[in-house]
Amino acid sequence: MSSDVGRPGGLARWLDQRVGWRGLMHEALDEPIPGGSRWAYVFGSGLLFVFVNQIVTGICLALYYVPSVDHAHTTVAYIQKEVWGGRFLRGLHSYGSSLMIVLLLLHLAQTFLYGAYKNRRELLWLVGCFLFLLVFGMSFTGYLLPWDRRAYFATAVGTNIVSEIPLVGNFVKTVLRGGPEMGTLTLSRFYVLHVFAIPALIIGAVAMHVFLFRRAGAAGPPVREEKGSELATEVFYPGQVFKDFVFGILLIIALGALALLWPVRLGPVANPADSTYVPRPEWYYLPAFQWLKYWHKGGLIIGIVVIPLLLFGALFGLPFLDRSPRRRPSERPVSVAGFFLVFAAVVFLGFQSGLEDRRDSAVRSKLQAQEKSEEEYSKAPFQPQEEGPMAGPVSASIAPALSPEQSKGALLFESEGCSACHGAGGRGGNGLVKLSGLGKRFTDSQLTGLLRKPLPKMVEGGMQPSELKAPDLAALVAYLRATMN
């Protein structure tokens, strides 16, 4: 066996005997496609391509990103403005999320028009619909993470919409936000959903989707049933693999060009108190955004519960509702007409939203101003997050007012080196010995005695007997008693 390794092809055989890769490659590459390879089939692989891009660039972003309200915006600005290639990689991730949506819709449309959900492919279709929701979940949760104005207010509106659902709405909103308001816990929740929970679900669902697809076999083009058996088959490799590959390269080029030519932006940090900000969601949520304008009060439940439930019910239940084996679009006019109707309505709503914003001059100028400030902020040089003694929780402003004698004691506390072992103001920290309760535990003369002649335990810890003159020592004691209670 091991003597094989030296011969031509020996290593391949050695590995195959242990791994069985020839069998795996055969499984992967020799899947028969009725009717041969087509450009129409590239969208599924395209989605996988872009998903891998999202994983790689997402890991890169996580390297410098900190998911906390205090740091999120600064760290994204750091990635964007300081780190080499940061703006480009963030651009790939940001445009990649839009591209995922585009490809998802194309993949859905192709599968629907080809009737490829028929013939024992119900579960395959259902898992696909579940993935559809997960991808929208990714874009919704990821949008908040930069914590700029746009992100903050889009998510504030997005989560508020949830609360309009009768009975459970407010509860769901509070669960999503981690409280009644957007804040610290909201960002943590969205981060965990975006980086851990949803990606794990996506990977599992993709595995199931591919498994079910392979199990059912490629559906091939929609032709008359009697002609189906006459179709010549072609295996997956090389024809379809090459088409998928070319499409993947085009996607990479498109993403790279977008990220370079129209660099992604970051706006000023979110200010929840800014009530003048006009929020607008990302383009793929605009139709939903516009839709909500038409429903008020009593009709609201129809607009945000009944109709969406019916639509998603029809989408998920499609293979169960449309059970005839006929796949050609001309043979199932009702479902195809319904599909195009919904598609046209969604596109119309999206455009209508943009149109209304352009017609309303107040909104238009406000949106333009917001965009301009975003552009300016993106161009401004990076400002690191300033932290220092005054920025900490224990600032001079909350220290008690000191008498002249106590102030003198405060200076002595520093100049005598007390703070070297007891921290600034005797507050300890970093393994230093904190001074507290001095005023309650000791009288003036006891404190003076301890400073003149420390206890053996104190000397062991490095405490030196004080050599200060009596008035200075009295000032130091006054300071200790006043501030270290």
Partner 1 sequence: MSDTLGGPPVGKTSAEARLLPTRRSFFAVLIGSISGVVGILMAVPVLRYLLYPVFRATGGVAWYSVGRADEFAGQGPFRKEVEVRRVDGWRALTSKRAVWVVRDGRNQLAVVSDVCPHLGCGVPWREDEGIFHCPCHHAKFGRNGALIGGPSPRSLDTLPVKVENGMLLVRYEVFRNLVSYKEVIG
**Residue 43 · residue 103 · CB < 8 Å:** yes
Q: Which of the ranges 154-162, 178-186, 309-317, 378-386 carries the binding residues for partner 1, by CB under 8 A?
A: 378-386
Whole-number minimum distance, CB 46 to partner 1, in Å? 15
- Does residue 416 bind partner 1 (CB under 8 A)? yes
* Chain residues 442-481 in contact with partner 1, contact rule CB under 8 A: 462, 464
> Contacting partner 1 (CB under 8 A), which of 11, 19, 24, 25?
25
* Chain residues 32-61 in contact with partner 1, contact rule CB under 8 A: 56, 60
Whole-number minimum distance, CB 6 to partner 1, in Å? 18
Residue 272 CB contacts under 8 Å (≥ 6 apart), including other chains: 152, 181, 182
- Does residue 70 bind partner 1 (CB under 8 A)? no
Whole-number minimum distance, CB 464 to partner 1, in Å? 6
> Contacting partner 1 (CB under 8 A), which of 2, 362, 386, 445?
386
Alpha carbon separation from 248 to 96, 239, 244 (Å, rounded): 13, 14, 6
Give which of 39, 118, 44, 36 is closest to 332, Cα–Cα.
118
> Contacting partner 1 (CB under 8 A), which of 35, 46, 67, 86?
86
- Does residue 384 bind partner 1 (CB under 8 A)? yes
> Contacting partner 1 (CB under 8 A), which of 45, 54, 74, 406?
74
Residue 464 CB contacts under 8 Å (≥ 6 apart), including other chains: 454
DSSP state of 399: S
* Distance between CA atoms of residues 418 and 426, nearest Å: 8
Nearer to partner 1, 128 or 267 (CB): 267
Q: Measured in whole angstroms, how far is the alpha carbon of residue 184 from the centre of its chain?
A: 15
- Does residue 75 bind partner 1 (CB under 8 A)? yes
* Distance between CA atoms of residues 46 and 51, nearest Å: 8
Residue 423: other Cβ atoms inside 10 A: 17
Q: Give the dihedral sign, CA 46/49/51/53.
A: negative
Nearer to partner 1, 71 or 364 (CB): 71
Nearer to partner 1, 77 or 288 (CB): 77
Q: Which of the ranges 175-183, 234-242, 272-280, 285-293 carries the binding residues for partner 1, by CB under 8 A?
A: 234-242
- Does residue 274 bind partner 1 (CB under 8 A)? no
- Does residue 252 bind partner 1 (CB under 8 A)? yes
Q: From the CA atom positions of the chain, what is the Rg in Å?
A: 33
E-strand spans in 161-317? 233-235
DSSP state of 100: H
Report helix angle 169-177 to 184-192, nearest 10. 90
- Does residue 430 bind partner 1 (CB under 8 A)? no
What phi and psi values does residue 86 have, to the nearest 5 degrees? -65, -45
Give which of 238, 211, 244, 253 is closest to 44, Cα–Cα.
244
> Contacting partner 1 (CB under 8 A), which of 5, 62, 185, 249?
249
How many positions of this chain bind partner 1 (CB under 8 A)? 45
Whole-number minimum distance, CB 206 to partner 1, in Å? 21
Q: Which residues bind partner 1 (CB under 8 A)?
A: 22, 25-26, 29-30, 56, 60, 63-64, 71, 74-75, 77-78, 82-86, 88-89, 237-238, 241-242, 245, 249, 252, 382, 384-389, 414-421, 462, 464
